[in-house]
Amino acid sequence: MSLLIKNGLVIDPQNHTEAVMDLLIDGGVIKKAEPEIVAPDAEVYDASGKVVAPGLVDLHVHFREPGLEYKEDITSGSHAAAKGGVTTVVCMPNTKPVVDNAALVKYVINRGKEVGLINVLTAGCISKGQKGAELSEIGELAAAGAVAVSDDGRPVVSSSLMRKALEYAKMFDIPVFSHSEDLELVDNGSMNEGYMSTVLGLRGIPKAAESVAVSRDVLIAKQVGGRLHVCHVSTRDSIEAIRAAKKCGVHVTAETAPHYFTLTDRACDGFNTNAKMNPPLRDEDDIAAVIEGLQDGTIDAIATDHAPHHRDEKELEFEQASNGIVGLETSLGLGVTYLVKTGKLTLCQLIEKMSTVPAQIIGFDRGTLGIGKIADIVVFDPDATYTVDVSKFESKGKNSPYDGFQLYGRVDMTITGGKIVYRNTEY
């Protein structure tokens, strides 16, 4: 089947393209991108006024399969991704059991293929059982298709183990995704330490719990090499540590999540457990630092840390509630609304951080609309608004602090491998 997308604003950061033109997809690949393409046999989609961009690549999602399918599974997660314009995800391995062997890596990848909506990739564990003691067989994980290693959900407490992980992962040319957190500094805190934690009477988590761990990780990477990728960066000091490391030539990349440039810890007011996450929501100064980091390239990517939970795990006292929010169905809208419409980033820069660069970080040949490339595409309207309604989420998780928000950047169509996997029929 061939598809002709007409008159869209085609944005391809990798090829420095940003122009209104037509795009012809045939045999699953991009055949042509030029004005006024004639293709009599193709299905025609009119994208006037819309953006045609490479499908989003989300480096950090929790699809909860195997073992925690009551929260999410690869089917529901894939549908949520497709609805959000996301055509590739990297699943974190903190499932039940954890993905610390080749068989489970293959299981996740194959389940994604069976569902057949998006590219479901996975990280494997850094340590066996995510226990932080013994390195997993990183070579076997990589051979089975793991695109990274991570103990996400938990930090690698042992500096020596982090060193070994970077050294081994380097041999197989995959990055180490670090959930950088100093658990002693966290000290059972449940939200950012500051005015709001005092008001709410909750134990706070100091910003240093993140920045101390990020600093350690970049210093180890500086010493031993390897590719360090810092997950969900949320504080000014973490960003400054990464900026300084990049200046010294350390191979470090970083991601942040939309909640770290859109919300502060004030969202926890009223003990709102849908604003409880790890790292916790910070303050205005950190939001400013995250945006500066995105602007100057210190932060390479925007990932969602999509973390679905069952309602019962959120309808608890704040301290007891699970950490995390769902993000796949709001990430593009939040990026367009809070970064592009405010003039902080251009549309091209946003797409670079949500597609092109994350694809490069994991060495996956996507994130571009080059001729001959596999047609993973998102078509969205940057000027159309929509209201977030969690009851309509494809994700099993409804734990989002954005319910009722008006956002720009409505996703109208998502294409994976030349196949339409989502079409917005609501307008």
Residues of each annotated binding site for Zn(2+): 60, 62, 152, 179, 232, 305
Shortest reach from residue 279's CB to Zn ion, in Å: 8
DSSP helix, strand, coil percent of the chain (3-state; round to 5): 35, 25, 40
Q: Known binding site for substrate: residues?
A: 62-64, 94, 278, 309
Judged by beta carbon, residue 217 or residue 352, the one nearer Zn ion is 217
179 or 366: whose CB is closer to Zn ion? 179
> 384-396: string of b/e by CB count within 10 Å (b at 16+)?
bebebebeebbbb
Closest distance to Zn ion from the beta carbon of 305 (Å): 6
Which residue, 152 or 412, has its beta carbon nearer to Zn ion?
152
Least Å from the CB of residue 180 to Zn ion: 9
* Nearest distance, CB of residue 123 and Zn ion, angstroms: 11
Residues contacting Zn ion: total by CB under 5 A: 2
Residues in the annotated binding site: 60, 62-64, 94, 152, 179, 232, 278, 305, 309
- By beta-carbon proximity to Zn ion, the closer residue of 234 and 298 is 234
CA distance 162 to 244: 20
Contacts of 11 (CB under 8 A, 6+ apart): 17, 18, 51, 52, 53, 347, 348, 351
Does residue 210 touch Zn ion according to CB under 5 A? no
Question: Which range binds Zn ion by CB under 5 A, 174-182, 268-276, 353-361, 367-375?
Answer: 174-182
Which are the catalytic amino acids? Answer: 305
**Between vectors from CA 185 to CA 221 and to CA 245, what angle results, nearest 5°?**
25
Residue (227 or 410) nearer to Zn ion, CB:
227
User: What are the structure tokens assigned to 226, written together?
Assistant: 């390897």
Q: CB of residue 369 vs Zn ion: minimum separation in angstroms?
A: 31
Q: Which residues pair with 224 in a beta bridge?
A: none
Bridge partners of residue 21, in order along the sequence? 8
Give the position of tokens 């419409």: 341
Return the residue of 111, 170, 179, 396 that touches Zn ion, per CB under 5 A: 179
- Nearer to Zn ion among residue 18 and residue 237 (C-beta): 237
Query: Could you give the CA distance from residue 275 to residue 400 in angstroms, rounded to a whole number?
Result: 8
CB of 59 to Zn ion, least distance (A): 11
Main-chain dihedrals φ then ψ at residue 55, nearest 5 degrees: -55, 145
* Cis ω before 279 (30° cut-off from 0): yes
What is the rounded distance in angstroms from the CA atom of residue 47 to the CA atom of residue 22? 9
DSSP assignment of 166-188 equals HHHHHHTT--EEE----HHHHTT
Site for Zn ion in 110-169 (CB under 5 A): 152
Burial of 311 (0-12, 13-18, 19+ CB in 10 A): exposed
Q: State whether residue 220 is helix, strand or coil.
A: helix
Residue closer to Zn ion (CB basis): 169 or 213: 213
DSSP state of 257: -
Q: Find out whether the peptide bond into 382 is cis, omega within 30 degrees of 0.
A: no
Report the residue number whose CB is nearest to Zn ion. Answer: 179
Q: Which region among 40-48, 171-179, 344-352, 417-425 touches Zn ion (by CB under 5 A)? A: 171-179
Whether omega for the bond prior to residue 40 falls within 30 degrees of 0, making it cis, is: no
Contact 304, 256 (CB under 8 A): no
Strand 252-256 relative to strand 228-230, pairing: parallel
CB of 73 to Zn ion, least distance (A): 20
Interface residues toward Zn ion, by CB under 5 A: 152, 179
